[in-house]
Structure 1
Amino acid sequence: MFGMGFFELVVIVVVAIIFLGPEKFPQAMLDMARFFRAVKKALNEAKETLDKEIHIEELKQESLEYKKRFEESAKPLINLKQELEEVQELKEVQDFKSTLTSIATQNPLDSLSQEVEVDEKPKVSLEKPPVSKSHA
């Protein structure tokens, strides 16, 4: 204890008995024992608190590492999602383009000509009407 041997402790006890006297010495020893217990308890509590803080710091570092790993593993998924959205937009544009192309290439006269029957005589003639002699 404190780097002292048995002989040094005996010398300190003898000096304390001479200095304090046999009446006050037992009470002084009890007070010193209480003081050393209180100091030891305070040191142990400080050590436990420090150990808890160190453990909390380790847990914090570990959680930051897990967060970093999670973010790194999520990057490919985020990129995949963006690529899928781009593909979907591209498909929508292509569908719209094909719709516009089909509308633009359709001839409205084709649909009208399908409605008119082939056997039906044209109602309008491109020939000149015969000139009537009554007006001339």
Structure 2
Amino acid sequence: MFQIGFFEILIILIIGIIFVGPQKLPQVIKFFVKTFRTIQKNISAVKDEIESEIKVDEIKQDIHNELKLKELEELDNQNGK
């Protein structure tokens, strides 16, 4: 989801040490990691539910079938001329 490099992590840690202090920083990091994981799980669950409700896979398959049909019709028209 997010791509965070070494430099960004280093800046976040330095800012964390400045504002929170070195003693409480591990607790704060654990809290944010747990919160982030919970948010990711919830977003994934909502996404899966929405996809299942609107039947995204079926729509994708229908689109794929339509495109293949158009290709075959174009080939047939080219061969018929």
Q: Which of the five TM-score ranges fits, normalised by the shorter chain?
A: 0.5 to 0.7
What is the TM-score normalised by the length of structure 2?
Answer: 0.60
Unaligned runs of 5+ in 2: 59-81
Answering whether residue 67 of structure 2 is matched by residue 46 of structure 1, we say: no
When the two chains are superposed, the root-mean-square deviation of aligned CA atoms in Å is 2.3
Structure index of larger Rg: 1
Q: Give the structure 1 partner of residue 31 of structure 2.
A: 31
Residues 1-136 of structure 1: matches in 2 within 5 Å? 2-55=2-55, 58=58
Deviations 1:19-50 (A, max 9, x none): 11111101100110111011101101101101
**Which aligned runs of 4 or more in structure 1 are off by greater than 4 angstroms?**
none
C-alpha displacement of 1:3: 4.8
What is the percent sequence identity of the aligned residues? 39
Aligned residues: 58
Deviations 1:28-74 (A, max 9, x none): 00110111011101101101101110229x5xxxxxxxxxxxxxxxx
